[in-house]
Structure 1
Amino acid sequence: MNIRECELPGIGQKIEIQTDGNEKIVVIMHEDGQREIYQFDSMNAEESSGRVTLTDEESRQIAAILGGIIYKPKAIENLEHAFDELVFEWCKVDANERIINRAIGEIKFRDEFGVTIIAIIRKNHERILNPGANETFHKGDTVVLSGERAKIQAVIAKLFN
């Protein structure tokens, strides 16, 4: 995959993505948070064959879907995704966990452990992306953690075992 970026003065940023399958996608990230995504036909790389316009919130939700935060295939349920030092881990809140009915801010994931909660998926499939400090944990929740491998392991050992 080949990625090229350029600044669009007064507009924002343009990112061109050429996939390994020779497909071209262009993303325009406007300064106001709006995103435009253009798909180009491999036969005519100069004229787009489709366009989608997204708000900042819609873009973040789609990023979560594509990044595997919303749906995690069973085949990789226990697999960590590592990007250099950054790791994502899915942890299930069981009945014996020390975090049930406690707020994210109360546990101080970021300050005390250096770990970020990027999503909570409730037992009823409700998805809370980028939860705030007042969000509480419930039995059956799946918590998506992000941070360095050693820090994630320390949180799991202290709070999820």
Structure 2
Amino acid sequence: MTVYESDLPGVGKKHEVELGDGARLVIVTHNSGKREVFRRADADSDSEKLFELSDQLARQVGTLLEGAYFQPVQTDRIETLLGEDTLLEWVEVGPDSPVAGKTLAESDLRQATGASVIAIERENEDVIVSPGGDAVVEAGDTLVVIGQTDACRDVLSTVRGD
């Protein structure tokens, strides 16, 4: 397998991986951490964008592909176990979520569940770290939550509207 690496000034780095059939997988890593993945039928053809990942999601997927550990990942949730009963969990806010359009204080997630929202990742790659009660939760946001396992499950249920 041959891998080509090149700098993209002002953008980041590009890696091209030769696939067995002559095609190439192109991965652009932006300075922000965002990854874009493209496929080229051959070295001279145009690239077709397959998907893009946030830095955090790319790292999770990379760890899974590397085989470092096995952790089932659902499309609406990524979680990391810290200690015996403490989770760090990423919860996506859907368009019909009862917390969409509300501030964290209005959503009452911490008081109702005991878990804390420690960051909000926006679709445009902005991350609000240590959001205050006045931070507005938007559809499409990903809430980074920490708490006991049951508390994190309660946040997931609340955000889904279960």
TM-score by length of 1: 0.52
**Mind listing any 5+ residue stretches in structure 2 that lack a counterpart?**
1-53, 65-72
Find the counterpart in structure 2 of residue 154 from structure 1.
154
Cα distance in 2 between the residues matched to 1:109 and 1:141: 15
Compute the displacement of 1:124 (Å): 0.6
Cα distance in 1 between the residues matched to 2:138 and 2:131: 13
Judged with a 3 Å threshold, the aligned counterparts in structure 2 of structure 1 residues 143 and 115 are, in CA distance, closer, same or farther, namely same
- What is the count of residue pairs matched by the alignment? 93
Find the counterpart in structure 2 of residue 41 from structure 1.
none
Contact kept in structure 2, 1:115 and 1:148, CA below 8 Å = yes
Compute the displacement of 1:70 (Å): 6.1
Find the counterpart in structure 2 of residue 94 from structure 1.
94
Find the counterpart in structure 2 of residue 136 from structure 1.
136
Q: Secondary structure at the match of 1:119?
A: strand
Q: Deviations over 1:23-70 (max 9, x none)?
A: xxxxxxxxxxxxxxxxxxxxxxxxxxxxxxxxxxxxxxxxxxxxxx96
Q: Secondary structure at the match of 2:105?
A: helix
2:80 equivalent to 1:81:
yes
Give the AA of the match of 1:151: A
**Mind listing any 5+ residue stretches in structure 1 that lack a counterpart?**
1-68
Contact kept in structure 1, 2:88 and 2:147, CA below 8 Å = yes
Compute the displacement of 1:159 (Å): 2.2
Give the AA of the match of 2:56: Y
Alignment of 1:1-161 (within 5 A): 71-72=56-57, 73-75=59-61, 78=74, 79-83=78-82, 84-161=84-161
Compute the displacement of 1:74 (Å): 4.8
Compute the displacement of 1:139 (Å): 1.4
Q: Which runs of 4+ in 1 moved over 3 A?
A: 76-79
Find the counterpart in structure 2 of residue 14 from structure 1.
none
Compute the displacement of 1:140 (Å): 1.0
Q: Secondary structure at the match of 1:80?
A: strand
Cα distance in 1 between the residues matched to 2:123 and 2:55: 13
Judged with a 3 Å threshold, the aligned counterparts in structure 2 of structure 1 residues 82 and 74 are, in CA distance, closer, same or farther, namely closer
Give the AA of the match of 2:160: F
Judged with a 3 Å threshold, the aligned counterparts in structure 2 of structure 1 residues 70 and 111 are, in CA distance, closer, same or farther, namely farther
TM-score by length of 2: 0.52
Cα distance in 2 between the residues matched to 1:155 and 1:80: 13
